[in-house]
Amino acid sequence: MSLVRKSSTVSRKESSIMSKQVKAIALCRVSSDEQLNNNSLDRQNISVHEMARKIGAIIPSDYIWSGSVSSKVGKNMKRKDLNEIYEVCKRDKDVKYIIVDEPDRFMRSIEEAFAWQVKFREIGVEVLFTDEQLNGDNLFTKLQRVMKYIQAEGSNEERMNKAKKGLRDHLVSGRYPFAIPRGYKKGKQLAIPEKDGERAELLQDLLKSIAYYILTPSEALVEYNKRAPLIYDKYCPLKMDKWRTIITNPFYAGIVEVKKQIKYRNENGLHEPIITKKEHEKIVEIMEGKGKSHKAPAKEGNPDFPLNKFIYCDDCCHRISKYNTFVGINQGNGKGRFYKKYRCRGCYRCLERDEVNNGIKAICDSLEMTEKSRKLLISALEEIWKQEEDNTKRKIRGLKIKLESVKGAIDSLMSAYLEESDIEMKQDIKERRNNKKMEFDNIKNEIEKLEASMNDNKKEFITFALSFVDKLGSSFVELLPKEAEKCKQIIFPDGFRVSRNNFVYTTSISPIYRLRSRKKSAFAENFPMWYTRRDSNPRLSVPKTDALIH
């Protein structure tokens, strides 16, 4: 319920009578549903009208402001009800009083209360309370008013602190006591939202598409506005400012965070996430890294065509320009079907994407690492493993120092609890100690996880890394564009070429690889090969050894 000014139709005769009498404005306010349900407004209204009768003033029916409004400290100078009342008082010179039940119904801020009283007095209007002992200008009356405002502001601050503490306790435990984010619904457990079926799946699909550069944020927004009306009963299309807030919300990655009433972030929310933390970080990077413009798939590379601009056309007349490269396109047949192809930017020759990929796989499958290169790679992997271990050890040391600090705080709070005699203070100390114990347990669990990760099998890590090398053909064409570019620079420095007969080949291969030989020989086993193509040998997949070594 919002604060409402009551209105009614007043006849000219009644208006004339009223204009000859002193008028007053009634201000009745509640700030919670509990007060509203306890009929606080009705009680205030009766008291205010009784006070108006005592001072001989009338309260016109349209001069009553009654309802629910916040009097948060620092916000009262812009309160809508008080500013409306002030404008009425300036227009109607017969208004001499604003009658309020108690000081805390006027507001819960000492400075702002006196500022408003002075502001009204300047236009000839006095703020009166139903308790007559609080009205007047003598020192004792002013002191009583000050004490009432101190109690009101103190009570307000205490209530706010309790609310903040309750919010923090929820966040510490991994709960989310705020408005349920889009794609989720109220769960069976308190403050733990659950995924909302198709709505969660739609959002998950688009968030992952943004994270992996399949769609730009703008394209994802268009897609969401197109598909959401099918699963929402009432749907209002989103704009980019709202969409930006939604897709960068860490809640979807299992994180509960608030930056308003309090500032707190818990990486381990109890709700089920729809994306990983790395995917969330990537989305945030996309949205923040480019400011108002967003990273598009074309700039980051299209995952459907990781070999864009890596393949050169032998049959193109623009041989010395940048236009002799193939780029990926989705070619339509005019009947709603599309085919993924590579097209030369110079002569517009098209190749089926899968055929090109198979040609490159054939090249890669004809290769294997030299023994020397494999040993160097394993050494590098071991060094990476060691660096990761060192980083983990440093992190564990830092967490152990923090753990000792928290343990010291718990001991101090325990001593304070035993020495304190006030029951309320003891309860507050106990709650703070419980929070510290929860923090202690969280840090301890994190240390245990890190120590367990250090004990993972290093052999499994190296085997996993070498599996890419051993399956180079299928691995290469499944890479994301940026990774494919790095791989191409290391292994295929000159990229790939397509002959007039649509054979895919390469002019050079890094010496870290060698040709797989059917017939084993000391020469073929140890010699790192550097490939060059001859016109008589268009396919590198079945080369002649003497024609390929130089």
The domain spans of the chain are: 4-156, 184-300, 371-460
Strands 126-129 and 95-100: parallel
Which secondary structure element, helix H or strand E, spans residue 204, and what is its range?
helix 197-211
Per residue in 115-158, pLDDT (tens digit) is 888 899 999 999 998 888 888 888 888 888 888 877 777 666 65
Is the pLDDT at 532 greater than 60? The verdict is no
- Least confident interval from 10-14, 270-274, 306-310, 410-414: 10-14
What pLDDT, on a 0 to 100 scale, did the predictor assign at position 300? 57
Q: Would you say the CATH fold of 184-300 matches that of 4-156?
A: no
* Level-2 CATH architecture, domain 4-156: 3-Layer(aba) Sandwich (3.40)
Residue percentage of the chain with pLDDT more than 90: 10
With cut-offs at 50, 70 and 90, classify the pLDDT of residue 524: very low
Residue percentage of the chain with pLDDT more than 70: 76
Tokens 């007039």 correspond to what residue? 500
Query: What is the rounded average pLDDT for all residues in the chain?
Result: 76
Is the pLDDT at 335 greater than 80? The verdict is no
Identify which has the larger pLDDT, 192 or 369: 192
What pLDDT, on a 0 to 100 scale, did the predictor assign at position 191? 83
DSSP for 289-354 reads: HTTTS---HHHH--TT-TTTTTEEETT-S-TTSGGGBEEEEEEE-SSS-EEEEEEETTT--EEEHH
Per residue in 215-245, pLDDT (tens digit) is 888 888 998 998 888 888 888 889 998 999 9
Is the pLDDT at 525 greater than 60? The verdict is no
**3-state SS string over 91-104?**
HCCCEEEEEECCHH
Identify which has the larger pLDDT, 187 or 73: 187
Question: Would you give the distance in Å from CA 533 to the centre of its chain?
Answer: 52
What pLDDT, on a 0 to 100 scale, did the predictor assign at position 546? 33
* Level-2 CATH architecture, domain 184-300: Alpha-Beta Complex (3.90)
What pLDDT, on a 0 to 100 scale, did the predictor assign at position 194? 92
Signed CA dihedral, 442, 443, 445, 449: sign only: positive
